[in-house]
Amino acid sequence: MQRVRLGLAFNLRREAKRDGPEDQDAEYDAWSTVSALAEALSFGNTCQVIPLPVERDFASLLERHPVDAVFNMAEGWGGRSRELLAPAVLEMAGVPYTGSDPVALGLAMDKAIAKAVVQSAGVPTAPSVVVSRLEELEAVAPECSYPAFVKPVAEGSSKGVRVESRVDTPEQLARQVERVLRVYRQPALVEAFLPGREFSVGILGNDRLRCLPVLEVRPLVPPDDPGRFIYCYHTKSRNLEAFLCPAPIDRALEARLVALTQTVFRALSLRDVARVDFRLDSAGQPRFLEVNPLPGLSAASLLTAQGAAAGLDLPHLVASIVAAAASRWVQEPGLGGDRLARLMALRQVASEMAAAPVPRLHDEAAAPGAIAASGHGTPTRSQAPVQG
């Protein structure tokens, strides 16, 4: 049997300076990440991995390089529909792919719509309003409670989020809304500020869901006022954050975060993999921030750190995603013959690898405690976590 031809759809971070905000390429991947994923996706010698950069010629690229299926990590270019473009082209071409479909990706990208959907399913969110024009602030500002938080309505990777995004006065609110409208050319989402701790939960699967250990994002150096910590682009780019995974939380909060994550996943009809972010309100209750159905898989990504805390290195984490997707693919109508046989073989290989123990790099027993790391470093073991 021929090897599986597995496409890898991606967008590379552009090195050359371009007009636009400094964080405009924050969502895109470095070649080192693409290369590591390509190696993991080969599954030994089971797959021939075909790089598929997602540009304007993506449809013709698929015609020139036919594949059996695609591992999709492409963020796309353009406006709020960018993440759904590659999957839509793949569906038109009849090529199965990992991850959520175009409708779910579009819902998740628009933070206001995503909040409305998950709130209807019983997931608590911070009160918010969308401001599309600066003139609307005159009506909105009197209804805002302070502190408030301002961010673009359809960005990822903390694009458009700054320390100054927390606002305490109507004047600050106006400045930040104007900045979002002018720089990011899209509506601003104005939310009640959540002063508590921030958490992220990775989730894998479809019919059977598996949540990865809860991860907490904290400042590397504790500020005088913990409620002022903002996990933003500057925090990430300057390595000012720390990941604690598993998060030092009690079982009740952990169970609540896991249950909310599963509800978000189901409410938005997501598939295979996602990461859901929460922040605690003033009463210590978790509220939904946003969901990422195309979570990063670089060495610095939250999902990668969560996988490591669960005992999954990158190849095993990738295998878990592919196994979930391949279980869908082999049931899709229209697949048959050798292609179906190859995808069934891939499902078997990925499932076996996902279930296999991760080889230890060292013989010593792992010390108890959380995975603690700078957001842009390799996770390392910390001492026993502080309870909180």
Per-residue model confidence as pLDDT tens digits over 71-119: 999 988 778 888 999 999 999 999 999 999 999 999 999 999 999 999 9
CA distances from 289 to 31, 81, 123, 312, 385 (A): 29, 20, 10, 26, 25
Q: How many CB atoms lie within 10 A of CB 218?
A: 18
pLDDT band at 368 (very low <50, low <70, confident <90, very high): very low
pLDDT band at 15 (very low <50, low <70, confident <90, very high): low
pLDDT band at 23 (very low <50, low <70, confident <90, very high): low
Order across the sheet with 4-10: list the strands: 47-53, 4-10, 69-72
**Average pLDDT for residues 20-25, to the nearest whole number?**
59
Q: What is the pLDDT of residue 219?
A: 82
CA distance 322 to 303: 15
Q: Is 251 exposed, middle or buried (0-12, 13-18, 19+ CB in 10 A)?
A: exposed
Q: How many CB atoms lie within 10 A of CB 162?
A: 17
pLDDT band at 367 (very low <50, low <70, confident <90, very high): very low
Q: Is the pTM of this model over 0.85?
A: yes
Q: Is the dihedral of CA 67, 73, 78, 81 positive or negative?
A: positive
Which residues does residue 17 pair with via DSSP β-bridges, in sequence order? Answer: none
Superfamily of domain 127-192: ATP-grasp fold, A domain (3.30.1490.20)
User: For the chain, percent helix, then strand, then coil, each to nearest 5?
Assistant: 35, 20, 40
Q: Give me the torsion for CA of 53, 57, 59, 65, rounded to 10°.
A: -60
Is it the case that residue 383 has pLDDT exceeding 80? no
What mean pLDDT, rounded, does the chain reach? 86
